[in-house]
Amino acid sequence: MVADPKFRSAQLGILVVDPTTGDTLVSHNAGKLFIPASNQKILTGPRRCTCWGPTSASARPSPPRARSSMARSAATSW
């Protein structure tokens, strides 16, 4: 994966350790410190709101699930 060209500009850190022996099986930038994506969202989310203005969201229940055609045909064949 690390050598795949589509990840050339990605910042990856990988550490795989055998839990039984403690041996390192794979290591790539294992000691490098990264900003986790979830922390980055905390910083960019509020900024997005101030740039784009207020937004609204509404929640509503999902519509009832349609019965499958097999169940429908079985119910109507009686």
pLDDT tens-digit series, residues 19-77: 889 999 999 899 998 877 666 667 676 666 666 666 666 667 776 766 655 555 554 54
pLDDT computed for residue 13 by the predictor: 85
What pLDDT is attached to residue 6? 83
Residue whose pair of structure tokens reads 């169940």 in the numeric block = 71
Alpha helix ranges (H) inside 28-77: 37-52, 69-76
Largest CA distance in the chain: 68
Contact 39, 24 (CB under 8 A): no
Q: How far apart are CA 40 and CA 65, in angstroms?
A: 37
